[in-house]
Structure 1
Amino acid sequence: MRPAGFTLLEVLIVVAIVGILAALGLGSYTRWRASSAVGEGTQVFTQAVNAARTGAKRLNTCQEVLLTAVSASPSLTVRSYPGSTCSGTPTTRTLNLPAGVQASLDSGANSLSFRAPYGSTDAAPAQFTVFWAANPAITRLVRVTGIFGKVIVK
């Protein structure tokens, strides 16, 4: 009668196979995680621009979105001014991009101001790049076009 259980050789073969499969999947997993974080950063950016435009119409105020990309952790600053002109002391809200995600201005203005009553902007079309810091090949382009600040993500 043979004793029940696994031999050392069988256990080593299974561990080797699991190790090979994990090594093959690790590259795909890290790329997927980076792509998902860039997508989340793009969503934060898009929602900030849309919220500023909507806030300008709803609150009849001037709303401004400013990208601060010079630090290690870039952020978006949303300023809400008390009146329909972009003057006075604003209420400021800061939105951080996910860890490892960077953003840069490709063209246009670094800040977008939306004015009441229609939520329109007089800024030239702007294009921003949201990318993964460890692998800049993982990118999303965010364009803000037109007088109503339509956001296009590529």
Structure 2
Amino acid sequence: MLDLSLRSVPTKRKPSAWLLEINPRPPGIQAADAIKHSYGVDYWGPALLFALQDRKRARHLSHPFTQGSQYWCEMVFIPVVKGGICLSDDPCFELFSRRPGLAAQVSWWCTFWTKGERVPDPSEDRNAFFAHLNIFSRTSRAHTPEIGETVRKELRYSIV
């Protein structure tokens, strides 16, 4: 995990800054979904209302939770390792029944394929993910990746 921290030895150079990107579109799912669940602001709703010039409703939807972020959040993507026919029912439900403690730390999830469906090989499809989950911790930021790693190790699905 990369975190900003104070340097032990100050630099002698004058600090500088530069613009990396100007992106006029709403953010993608990796940015918008975590913000929606952590801070309570759904970027896509206000973006649509701004396009309709409905500034009043856009302003109403642009306020975060009163207390700020309710937790630290990470989106966990479960990759497809090979194509074939899915033999698993929803692996997220299976994980939650087997590990209820993990279920309590998932705010949202999506499984892209279920039993009997054809799962494309990662080389033939842009969506090379079997599922994705928003996991969270109210303990610490450092705790969040630990939960994410547990989910990656514990979530099981079968493709033949």
Place the TM-score, normalised by the shorter chain, in its bin. Answer: under 0.3
TM-score normalised to the size of structure 2?
A: 0.23
RCO comparison, higher one (Cα < 8 Å, 6+) = 2
Query: Which of the two has greater strand per residue?
Result: 1
Which of the two has higher C-alpha Rg? 1
